[in-house]
Amino acid sequence: MIDVALLKEICELPGAPGFEKKIRDFIVEKAGKLVDEISIDNIGNVIAIKKGVRNPDNKRVMVAAHMDEIGFIVTHIDDNGFIRFHTLGGFDPKTLTAQRVIIHGKEKDIMGVMGTKPIHVMTTEEKSKLPKISDYFIDLGMDKAEVEQWIQVGDPITRERDLVEMGNCVNCKSIDNRISVFILLETLRTLEAPAYDVYATFTVQEEVGIRGAQVSAHTIDPDFGIALDTTIAFDLPGAAAHEKITELGKGTAIKIMDSSAICDYRMVAFMKETATKNNIPFQTEILTAGGTDTAGVQRMGRRGAIAGAISIPTRHLHQVIEMANKNDVLASIQLLKASLEEIDGFDWSH
């Protein structure tokens, strides 16, 4: 099974877009022991290289897993010490209700709670409206003078939630996309004979526009690209069969397209063939709303890349209760490892 203790550590580390230092330091420490070269580029991506064993033409495979998590940034401290904020990444406002957050201040982290107008004093009209992000503030339980000792405008904010096991699933904040960080690290740990040079790239700022992947793909100029990210598992009450996208426990997901990329048909065929040959359970994914690093990896090299993605089915995305199935995670590791070892045996001609 999977190393839940390692996954827990990865998920619980903070790393809002643009403020990924703590998770980046962890990745450098872990990945540095598993690869031939490791570096950090100017924007903060970690690029870990494992040399191929059958690579006379110096082919490069970029594997991208974004390390950032959705979060917030402090924009204002009012006269009573309450915090106003801006989102870093996409949020459904109603998911903020009654949540704890952590503001990463000048010298220490400060716990806060998301507050809004109590239902007891709402008008009938207010009760019938969906909440807006601007309805919320952060309460630190301090007055302004005390808040300003620790907090300033521009400080990042992350969500507070521990990882727990539920049945054969893991549940935590930031499964998107720390589950992929975990998968890439575990693949590097077991990968002994990649065919081509592997550029394991832990990217930044995906949640605000795949910014890290664009920069790193431009630098690496890969021949092949594989993105790792979560995808919707809407296998829930009320969902029609055609709405589910993916389902938990049915295997890893091979992406066909999302809103930012149409995967190369050759990569889709290769992954399907590889999964079938190695008895790895898989399902296919078409996500019509929502993009991933796949687009940056595919487009931003000088010649473009033959690109696709391995997606991890996840319930309750962009909430603090994201849920993934352990067997699907294991299948994702298996498919990535097999793909990197067997990529030279496929006919990549158009």
pLDDT tens by residue, 138-167: 999 999 999 999 999 999 999 999 999 999
Same domain? For 45 and 113 the reply is: no
Check whether 104 is labelled as a binding-site residue.
no
pLDDT at 176: 97
Same domain? For 285 and 144 the reply is: no
Measured CA to CA in angstroms, residue 23 lies from 26, 53, 139, 206, 261 at distances of: 5, 30, 26, 14, 27
Which residues in the chain come in under a pLDDT of 50?
A: none
User: pTM of the prediction?
Assistant: 0.97
142: which strand partners?
none
The answer to whether residue 199 is domain-embedded is: yes
Whichever domain contains 19, its CATH number is: 3.40.630.10
Residues designated as active site = 206
CA atoms of 183 and 200, how far apart (whole Å)? 11
Check whether 316 is labelled as a binding-site residue.
no
CA atoms of 317 and 274, how far apart (whole Å)? 28
Q: Nearest CA to 271 among 330, 183, 328, 337? A: 337
The answer to whether residue 210 is domain-embedded is: yes
Same domain? For 238 and 323 the reply is: yes
Same domain? For 186 and 100 the reply is: no
Same domain? For 31 and 19 the reply is: yes
Q: What is the DSSP letter of 89?
A: S
Check whether 218 is labelled as a binding-site residue.
no
Burial class (CB in 10 A: 0-12, 13-18, 19+), 157: buried
The answer to whether residue 350 is domain-embedded is: no
Q: Which H or E element spans position 211?
A: helix 211-220
Number of domains in the chain: 2
Same domain? For 14 and 26 the reply is: yes
User: Tokens at residue 104, please?
Assistant: 């990463």
Whichever domain contains 99, its CATH number is: 2.40.30.40
> Are β-strands 109-115 and 137-139 bridged in parallel, bridged antiparallel, or unpaired?
antiparallel
CA atoms of 251 and 270, how far apart (whole Å)? 17
Same domain? For 152 and 231 the reply is: no
Same domain? For 132 and 12 the reply is: no
Q: What is the DSSP letter of 116?
A: -
The answer to whether residue 40 is domain-embedded is: yes
User: Tokens at residue 110, please?
Assistant: 């400060």
Domain with 320, as residue range(s), is 4-69+173-343
pLDDT at 126: 86
pLDDT at 106: 85
The answer to whether residue 348 is domain-embedded is: no
Same domain? For 208 and 290 the reply is: yes
Same domain? For 209 and 334 the reply is: yes
Which backbone phi and psi does 169 adopt, to 5 degrees?
A: -120, 160
Same domain? For 41 and 15 the reply is: yes
Same domain? For 239 and 336 the reply is: yes
CA torsion angle 322 327 328 329 (round to 10): 70
The answer to whether residue 206 is domain-embedded is: yes
11 residue type, one letter? C
Check whether 120 is labelled as a binding-site residue.
no
User: Tokens at residue 219, please?
Assistant: 């630098």
